[in-house]
Amino acid sequence: MTDYVSSNSSEDSRQWDERGFAFWIYLMSDAVIFALLFATFAVMASNTNGGPGGKQLFELRHTFIETMLLLTSSMTFGFASVSVSARNKAATLAWLAVTFALGLGFIGMEISEFHGMIAQGAGPDRSGFLSAFFTLVGTHGLHVGSGLVWIIMLGVETAVCGLTPRVVSHLYRLGLFWHFLDIIWIAIFSFVYLRGIV
């Protein structure tokens, strides 16, 4: 019986290791996708086709608030991870809820920015610059939206199942994904917005 439990536990551990490795491969493939989108934007940045460019469209104050929301959400997810390590389910759920609210605020501001630009006639079909901008920033926004759905799912899983090894493993991967999105956004803020208003 002991041998069976031991071999079963070792099998579970190998499964988690394989899934963890697969998730890292996914993150690397996502990084490649974003690298291609950044390269496309770099090529198209000056192709405004006589339309508005970054100087006319970007509001740095608005984007700075967006950035602070996302960076703060990364910090609150860090607090959630600390709560997971302490096996404090209530605190984990509370910090996940705060992270979700901050992420939702970020998405709301991004949608507002896109809506405002399209209302000014600066939609993705206006120029190569705007096509590349909407594709890059929109792809990041879709990732954040997916992360929000994932937070809801893991919040429910944590509330129902508790902080089991399986749930902790899922939360660990979500943390990697969320922090990865923060790094990508810092690159977008620096390369797209700051560079665009200079």
How far is the C-alpha of 108 from the C-alpha of 141, rounded, in Å? Answer: 10
For 81-98, the pLDDT digits (tens) are 999 999 999 999 999 999
How many whole angstroms separate alpha carbon 166 and alpha carbon 57? Answer: 45
Among the listed residues 51, 80, 66, the one whose alpha carbon sits nearest the alpha carbon of residue 154: 80
Average pLDDT over residues 40-49: 91
Q: What is the pLDDT of residues 145-163, one digit of tens each?
A: 999 999 999 999 999 999 9
Domain boundaries, the chain: 14-45+56-197
pTM score: 0.88
Q: Which residue has the tokens 């929301």?
A: 69
Instruction: Please state the CATH superfamily assignment of the domain spanning residues 14-45+56-197 in this structure.
Output: Cytochrome c oxidase, subunit III, four-helix bundle (1.20.120.80)
Within 10 A of 149 (CB to CB), how many other CB atoms are there? 10
Bigger pLDDT: 48 vs 107: 107
Percent of the chain surpassing pLDDT 70: 90
Report the C-alpha gap between 9 and 40 in whole angstroms: 47
